[in-house]
Amino acid sequence: MTARTQVAIIGAGPSGLLLGQLLHKAGIDSMIIERQSSDHVLSRIRAGVIEENTAKLMDFVGCGEHLRKEGMVQEGFSIFYESDKIRIDLKRLAGKSIIVYGQTEITRDLMEARQRSGRPVVYGASDVAVHDFDTKRPSVSYSVAGARHTVECDFIAGCDGFRGICRASIPSDKIRMYERNSPVGWLGLLADTPPVAHEPIYGTDADGIYLCSMRSPTRSRYYLQCSMDDHVENWPDARFWDELRRRLPPGVAESLVSGPALEKSIAPLRSFVAEPLRFGRMFLAGDAAHIVPPTGAKGLNLAAADVHDLSKVLMAYYHDNNVAALDEYSPKALARVWQAQRFSWWMTMLLHKLPHQSAFDRKLQRAEFDTLAESETAQRALAETYVGIETL
C-alpha cells in the first residue's frame, strides 16, 4: 500500500509531534510514523524543565492550555556546595522563569492535538526504513500487522531518537559524530510525595550531584549520582530515601517526605552531536541529532528549538519556493546545540564528582562555586543561559 505526504516524520515523541503541529498550522501535510505503541511513548519519564521559548511554541500550536494551567512556574533554583548555598534568581537576573511540566504531559497534549487535527499518525510500525533521501523522491517504508506500507514524500524529518533508523541510514563517510561519555549516571526516582522545597535544588557533596525537582505540588522527582555500572535493583526505595536524606543539608532534609517509587531508572551522563543535520531531503532533530547531559535541563528544549527552525525552512520552501532556505537549518541548529553542550558540561563539572578528578580538580571546582557565589555577573550569565535565549 502506498500513500503520499509532503513531510514524513519518523518518531512520535515530543519533537516529532510538535513538528507535526507546526506544519499543520502552516498548511503543510505530514504523516508521523512511530515504531512504539502510543502507551509506550507516554510511559517515558524524562524532562520536566520547560523554557519559556518552548512554552510559547506550545501556545502557538494550540497546546499550551494545560501547561499554563498546571505547570509550576519557577523563578529561581538553589545550588548547594556541601553546606554552602547560592540561590539563582532567574526572574531578577534574566527577566524570565522556567516552568516545571513533565515531558509525558507535553507528549499527551501534542498527541491529543494531533488527533484533533485529523492528520495521520501510525503507531506500532516495524521494520521502518528510509529510502532515496539524497534524491528529490524520498520515501519511507514500514510494516503494520504484517502488511508492508510505503509513504512517498518531499522530505523526511528524523525525530526518532538516539537509536533511530534515520541517522543510522546515513553513510558513514557523510556524517561526523562527536561524543563524550562519563562513567557516572543519574539514578532517578519519581514519587507521589510533596517536593522537599518550592524550587529545584542542585547540590553536590563528596559523593557527587543530587537534584531535587518536582512534577506537581504532590509529585517529586529526585536524582542521585551513581556509577553507570550500578543497577536499579541495588536501590530499593528505603536505600534511596536514606541516601538522599543523608546528603541533603540538615534544614532541607527535615522537610523530605518519602514514599513508594512510581518509577526508578539510571540515566547516562552523555554528550553527543551529529554533523551535519541535513542529508539531501532528510533532516535530523532532537535526540537523533544530539544528546546533552541532563545537568543543564536542555534536552527537550533543544528539540523544540530544532523543529521550530525546521518548520520555518520548510515553510519558506513551500510558501515562497525558497530552496536555499533548506541550507540554513543545520548550521543554525548546530550553533545552538554546541552552546547548550558547553553550558551543560560547565554545570556538570561544577557539580559532579568524576572518577578521574584529582584533588587539584576539586579545588578548582570549589573555586568555581565561590566565584559564582561572589559574582552577580557570573550568576546572570548562568541564569540567562538556563532560561534559554529568545528564538521566536
Question: What CATH number does the domain containing 59 carry?
Answer: 3.50.50.60
Of the chain, the percentage scoring pLDDT greater than 90 comes to 90
Identify the pLDDT of residue 51: 96
Decide: helix, strand or coil at residue 238.
Answer: helix
Domain count, the chain: 1
Q: Which domain holds residue 128?
A: 2-74+98-179+270-351
Q: In terms of Cα–Cα distance, which of 332, 291, 338 is closest to 313?
A: 332
Mean confidence (pLDDT) of the chain: 95
The pLDDT confidence band at residue 356, using thresholds 50, 70 and 90, is: confident
Indicate whether 106 belongs to any domain.
yes
Q: How buried is residue 328: exposed, middle or buried, by Cβ count under 10 Å (0-12/13-18/19+)?
A: middle
Tell me the whole-structure pTM to 2 decimals. 0.94
Task: Judge whether 153 and 206 are in contact, CB under 8 Å.
Answer: no
Percent residues over pLDDT 70 in the chain: 98
Is residue 340, in this structure, part of any structural domain at all? yes
Residues sharing a CB contact under 8 Å with residue 360, sequence separation 6 or more, in sequence order: none
Q: Is 39 domain-assigned?
A: yes
pLDDT of residue 389: 67
Domain assignment present for 236: no
Q: 369: which strand partners?
A: none
Q: What is the mean pLDDT of residues 253-270?
A: 94
pLDDT at position 263, please? 92
Per the document, the length of the chain is 392
Give the strand order in the sheet containing 7-10: 121-122, 30-33, 7-10, 155-158, 282-284, 278-279
* pLDDT bracket for residue 102 (50, 70, 90): confident
Q: Match 533548506 to its residue by C-alpha cell.
A: 326
Q: Report the pLDDT averaged over residues 325-334.
A: 98
